[in-house]
């Protein structure tokens, strides 16, 4: 029997209930994503430690942990040769870890739940929205299905092109060509950089049928699912009858899409030009190639620091200035909510507009006739500065503890690990075990992102119901 309002008991909440309980903390999306990645890495480490995973001796704990983290975090750095050290079973484990890491553990879990139950609950939608950076909860189902369809189609298309090329031009058997094509297609689309060839793509440096499909997969996979979803939606809409799809009207694109695509295009063009100018006569890289081969190698090398990790030339033979330029490209990375790492091109673009507005004395930061919120500016600044700290501190620690490697080499490895790129000067396998564990932590931090990791590990949200008096500090 329903009691009258005046007779209903009043429930008093104790002060302790104002604080989130451990159970509620574990339900936070960011924390679930963090725990999901940790669990995946743990399972991968266990599988790679099995005798069936290695060809000769069993993988050590550090070797298995490093490889599992590198695959799950779609990095590509390795302490052993993927082609010779791991058996087909071990390579299959790496491939699955790459695919799971590219989707995001929580995205995969949401997809499985969607397939089984045909519907998503609120808690699952919250987790998926955090993992895919979906704008609204109502879009999660469409985003997840779109990600699944697009990923499968893109990977299979690239795998087919590569498999045919490997069979026709390189005489590989049907089975090996299909496996190699699939492995490299998945690795490229997820920006992982793992290769079944010991020299990565060096043997294919002048082959456009291998380098260009892989480069296209890297760019598309790393540009970010929100951008791809938006472009897919705009492709079928028209502003006026006979006026063309909205896809070709840049004014219909969101600010995020225009920033991401525009900055990516600029960095690719600038990177290609820089590699051509800096390495044209280098006998260890571009020197022996003909002009067409040099252009193809420059395009490939400009794409791969988007955090893919493949290399069609010997990275250890690059000039020191080219190393540093590659460091910058890797640090910027690719698009948000994609398979790429780094601080993201949107972050880089936002900071550039902030600096430009400050130099002009504008009170607001305006991008494409839209004013950027203060929270967006603060987040971009936070991500960039946390990224700088995540690179500087490990670089300093490793450099002070070894006299074997130069500062340029150590900085390159650290940036590659944090940005989940996978390019290397060739020193990763020769580093001390604790140095390799530092890189493991950097790969994990770089994949989840400073903001997501910080939120996932925070004990509680900090909210203030008041504001302090305003003051100023002399700058410069």
Segment 113-171, tens digit of pLDDT: 555 555 556 666 655 565 555 545 555 666 677 778 888 999 999 999 999 999 999 99
**pLDDT of amino acid 241:** 54
The secondary structure element, H or E, covering residue 199 is: none
Give the separation between CA 365 and CA 363, rounded to whole angstroms: 7
Nearest residue to 349 via CA among 324, 364, 368: 368
Identify the weakest region by mean pLDDT among 274-278, 302-306, 378-382: 378-382
Confidence band, pLDDT 50/70/90 cuts, at residue 278: very high
**pLDDT for residue 45 is more than 70:** yes
Averaged over 360-373, what is the pLDDT? Answer: 87
Nearest residue to 196 via CA among 286, 76, 61: 76
Nearest residue to 76 via CA among 57, 55, 54, 95: 95
Name residues whose C-beta falls within 8 Å of residue 39's C-beta, 6 or more positions apart in sequence.
105
Averaged over 77-99, what is the pLDDT? Answer: 94
Averaged over 224-250, what is the pLDDT? Answer: 67
Give the separation between CA 219 and CA 312, rounded to whole angstroms: 16
pLDDT tens digit sequence for 286-302: 999 999 999 999 999 99
Residue 4, SS3? coil
Q: What is the pTM of this model?
A: 0.85
Backbone dihedral angles phi then psi of residue 266, each to the nearest 5 degrees: -65, -45
**pLDDT for residue 15 is more than 60:** no
* Residue 424 and residue 412 in contact, taking contact as beta carbons nearer than 8 Å: yes
CA angle 314, 328, 359 (to 5 degrees): 155
**pLDDT of amino acid 22:** 42
Confidence band, pLDDT 50/70/90 cuts, at residue 28: low
Give the separation between CA 37 and CA 59, rounded to whole angstroms: 21
DSSP code of residue 20: P
Structure tokens at 290: 């003909």
**pLDDT for residue 50 is more than 80:** yes
**pLDDT of amino acid 31:** 72
Give the separation between CA 430 and CA 374, rounded to whole angstroms: 45
Percent of the chain past pLDDT 90, that is, above it, reads 55
Q: In 10 A of CB 323, how many CB atoms?
A: 19
**pLDDT of amino acid 368:** 87
pLDDT tens digit sequence for 435-451: 999 999 999 998 887 65
Give the separation between CA 208 and CA 190, rounded to whole angstroms: 20
Backbone dihedral angles phi then psi of residue 357, each to the nearest 5 degrees: -65, -40
Owner of token pair 């903001």: 451
* Residue 72 and residue 33 in contact, taking contact as beta carbons nearer than 8 Å: no
Nearest residue to 345 via CA among 383, 371, 393: 383
Backbone dihedral angles phi then psi of residue 32, each to the nearest 5 degrees: -65, -40
Backbone dihedral angles phi then psi of residue 344, each to the nearest 5 degrees: 85, 145
Averaged over 70-94, what is the pLDDT? Answer: 93
Averaged over 324-343, what is the pLDDT? Answer: 89
């Amino acid at each position: 029997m329903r009691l009258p309002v005046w007779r209903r008991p009043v429930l008093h909440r104790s002060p302790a209930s104002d604080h989130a309980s451990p159970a509620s903390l574990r339900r936070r999306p960011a924390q679930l994503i963090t725990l999901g990645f940790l669990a995946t890495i743990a399972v991968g480490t266990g599988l790679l430690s099995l005798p069936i995973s290695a060809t000769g001796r069993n993988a050590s704990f550090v070797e298995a942990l490093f490889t599992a983290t590198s695959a799950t975090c779609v990095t590509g750095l390795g302490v052993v040769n993927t082609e010779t050290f791991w058996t087909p079973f071990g390579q299959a484990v790496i491939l699955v870890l790459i695919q799971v890491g590219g989707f995001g553990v929580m995205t995969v879990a949401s997809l499985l739940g969607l397939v089984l139950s045909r519907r998503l609950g609120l808690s699952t939608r919250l987790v998926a929205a955090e993992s895919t950076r979906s704008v609204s909860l109502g879009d999660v189902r469409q985003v997840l299905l779109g990600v699944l369809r697009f990923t499968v189609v893109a990977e299979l298309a690239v795998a087919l092109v590569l498999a045919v090329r490997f069979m026709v031009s390189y005489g590989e058997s049907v089975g090996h060509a299909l496996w190699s094509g699939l492995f490299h297609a998945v690795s490229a689309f997820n920006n992982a950089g793992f290769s079944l060839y010991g020299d990565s793509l060096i043997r294919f440096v002048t082959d456009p049928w291998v380098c260009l499909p892989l480069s296209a997969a890297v760019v598309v996979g790393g540009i970010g699912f929100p951008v791809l979803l938006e472009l897919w939606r705009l492709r079928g809409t028209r502003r006026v009858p006979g006026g063309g799809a909205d896809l070709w009207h840049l004014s219909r694109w969101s600010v995020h899409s225009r920033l991401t695509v525009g900055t990516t295009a600029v960095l690719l063009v600038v990177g290609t030009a820089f590699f051509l100018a800096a390495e044209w006569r280098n006998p260890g890289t571009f020197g022996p190639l003909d002009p067409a081969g040099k252009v193809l190698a420059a395009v490939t090398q400009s794409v791969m620091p988007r955090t893919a990790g493949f290399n069609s030339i010997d990275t250890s033979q690059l000039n020191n200035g080219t190393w540093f330029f590659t460091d910058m490209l890797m640090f910027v990375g690719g698009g948000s909510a994609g398979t790429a790492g780094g601080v993201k091109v949107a972050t880089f673009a936002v900071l550039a507009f902030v600096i430009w507005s400050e130099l002009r004395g504008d009170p607001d930061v305006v991008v494409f006739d839209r004013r950027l919120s203060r929270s967006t500016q603060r987040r971009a600044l936070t991500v960039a500065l946390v990224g700088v700290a995540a690179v500087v501190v490990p670089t300093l620690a490793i450099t002070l503890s070894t006299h074997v490697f130069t500062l340029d080499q150590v900085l390159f490895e650290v940036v590659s690990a944090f940005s989940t790129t996978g390019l290397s000067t060739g020193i990763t396998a020769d580093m001390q075990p604790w140095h390799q564990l530092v890189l493991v932590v950097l790969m994990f931090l770089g994949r989840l992102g400073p903001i997501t990791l910080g939120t996932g590990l925070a004990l509680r949200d900090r909210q203030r119901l008041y504001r302090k008096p305003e003051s100023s500090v002399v700058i410069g």
